[in-house]
Amino acid sequence: MPWAVLLGLLAALLLLLLLTRRRTRRPGEPPLDVGIIPWLGHALEFGKDAASFLTRMKEKHGDIFTVLVGGRYVTVLLDPHSYDTVVWEPRSKLDFHAYAVFLMERIFDVQLPHYNPSDEKARMKPTLLHRDLQALTEAMSTNLRTVLLGDVTEAGDGWHKMGLLDFSYSFLFRAGYLTQYGVETVPRTHQSQAQDRAHSADVFRTFRQLDLLLPKLARGSLSVEVTTIINLEYNLCNRGSFSFQGNAGPATFWLLLFLLKHPKAMSAVREELERTLWKAEPPVSEMAILPQKVLDSMPMLDSVLSESLRLTAAPFITREVVVDMAMPMADGREFSLRRGDRLLLFPFLSPQKDPEIYTDPEEFKYDRFLNPDGTEKKDFYKDGKRLKNYNMPWGAGHNLCLGKSYAINSIKQFVGLVLLHFDLELTNPEMKIPEFDLSRYGFGLMQPEHDVPIRYRIRP
């Protein structure tokens, strides 16, 4: 027994030594902040509210620093003039996919031993960017009509009540799911459409359960049992849906909420939509799917979308440092990065919420991305220098979002459908815009702390 106690003490001592053996900053490296808790470092503060934590670190150390987070050293870069160097580095130095694979394994228990990101991207590109984009957009629009108009018609005349997040998320997800994985029969019948609606609603319910647990799963703070159940459900949901569909719904929620809270913005968008349809050659009926040339001729709606995303898109742009390397900053400084560390850009803080770039950065200004002559505004400055990356909801460089055009088309089709065919109102117009669910920083679009009740009906 005394031996067992002694061994136990020795093991505890060894573990403590191991945990407290801390790294020190080498010459040329960014400021290092390991926090006070061995191994964990700043993990708790980071997980609780990453934006506040990184703002505090920026005030302490400047726009580049390294922090310890749950055993990993993460170098955080917050100077938007220097982002370009990172996003255009080759994979042999800064790797995007290593981190994505790590997250897939942690969240979904999916092993990807033969995964080749370049092959995967080459397969997706023709569909998402070129050849099939028009067909994809048309299928999405038809499916949006099936789920949205179909559900409402089935539920009967008059006003319907729902949360705005649920409304935006469920209809976009369900239509996206049918677009990606196919409908019951073509040509569609009444019965097959009803089946499509019921099936896609089931899938969305399962997806949403998983989505709500995502922050905990990604941080590895959920029990094995729960994770196993989720994995089963996720397989039912089908893997690809998650990363593809998780952002468009919340993005549309914020866009519609800002429009509902800013009547001037709402009438500017409505007016543009009606004018564009009427002016199109040949004129487009309100009942038709919006053609690409109409979707591309709405600078006001583009500005509203960019402004909504500026305020609510908060992904972590994360790269694995594959080799020891030097990182040049735009102002001429140079820092050493160590192999095995992670590099993190957080454009949400800067450029997106930077008061030097955007006046009143917390405010929604619907025409912020428009020039006085109505064209898209692209000139934004920091330290007197024009910025290349002034708004980064879609990332940038080698790993710029492949689904950007498809997502923008889908959001515009949905907003067009709602504004042309529905009356949509906040149940309580005085209700404040909800705060963010702070645990979701890093996953893309932020979600609200709580939903916002609305009522809607098909225009009589």
Bind-site residues for heme: 401
Nearer to ligand HEM, 403 or 448 (CB): 403
Query: Could you tell me the CA-to-CA distances from 410 to 22, 250, 353 in Å, in that order?
Result: 49, 13, 26
With tokens 């998402």, the residue in question is 128
Nearer to ligand HEM, 133 or 280 (CB): 133
Q: Is 406 in the site for ligand HEM (CB under 6 A)?
A: yes
Contacting ligand HEM within 117-156 (CB under 6 A): 117, 121, 124, 128
Q: Closest separation between CB of residue 8 and ligand HEM, Å?
A: 44
- By beta-carbon proximity to ligand HEM, the closer residue of 209 and 399 is 399
Q: How far is the CB of 154 from ligand HEM (least distance, A)?
A: 27
Task: Based on the shown chain and the rule CB under 6 A, indicate whether residue 96 belongs to the binding site for ligand HEM.
Answer: yes
Query: What are the b/e assignments for 94-132, b being 16+ CB within 10 Å?
Result: bbbbbbbbebbeebbeeeeeeeebeeeeeeeeebbeeee
Q: Cβ of residue 223: shortest distance to ligand HEM, in angstroms?
A: 29
Q: Does 407 bind ligand HEM (CB under 6 A)?
A: yes
Residue 277 vs 311, nearer CB to ligand HEM: 311
Best CA proximity match to 79, nearest among 306, 324, 335? 335
Q: How many residues bind ligand HEM (CB under 6 A)?
A: 24
Nearer to ligand HEM, 317 or 452 (CB): 317
Q: Min. distance of Cβ 28 from ligand HEM in angstroms?
A: 26
Helices (H), 185-328: 190-218, 224-237, 240-245, 248-261, 263-279, 292-295, 299-312
Q: Which residues contact 247 (CB under 8 A, 6 or more apart)?
A: 313, 407, 444, 445
Shortest Å distance, C-beta 31 to ligand HEM: 24
Q: Which is nearer to ligand HEM, 251 or 268 (CB)?
A: 251
Using CA atoms, how far apart are residues 400 and 124, in angstroms rounded to an integer? 13
Q: Pick out residues in 223-252 that bind ligand HEM (CB under 6 A).
A: 244, 247-248, 251
Binding mask 347-386 for ligand HEM (x = CB under 6 A): ----------------------------------------
Q: In the complex with ligand HEM, which residue's Cβ is closer, 104 or 407?
A: 407
Nearest residue by C-beta to ligand HEM? 403
Closest approach, Cβ 177 to ligand HEM, in A, equals 11
Query: Residue 233 in contact with residue 202, Cβ under 8 Å?
Result: no
First to last CA, the chain: 83
Paired tokens of 116 = 């080749």
Other residues' Cβ atoms within 10 Å of the Cβ of residue 174: 27
Alpha carbon distances (Å) from 415 to 259, 375, 422 = 11, 21, 10
SS3 state at 377: coil
* Least CB distance to ligand HEM at residue 396 (A): 7
- Token reading at 120: 């995967």
Partner residues linked to 163 by β-bridges:
453
Which residues between 270 and 329 bind ligand HEM (CB under 6 A)?
313, 315, 317-318
Interface with ligand HEM (CB under 6 A): 96, 117, 121, 124, 128, 244, 247-248, 251, 313, 315, 317-318, 393-395, 399, 401-403, 406-407, 444-445
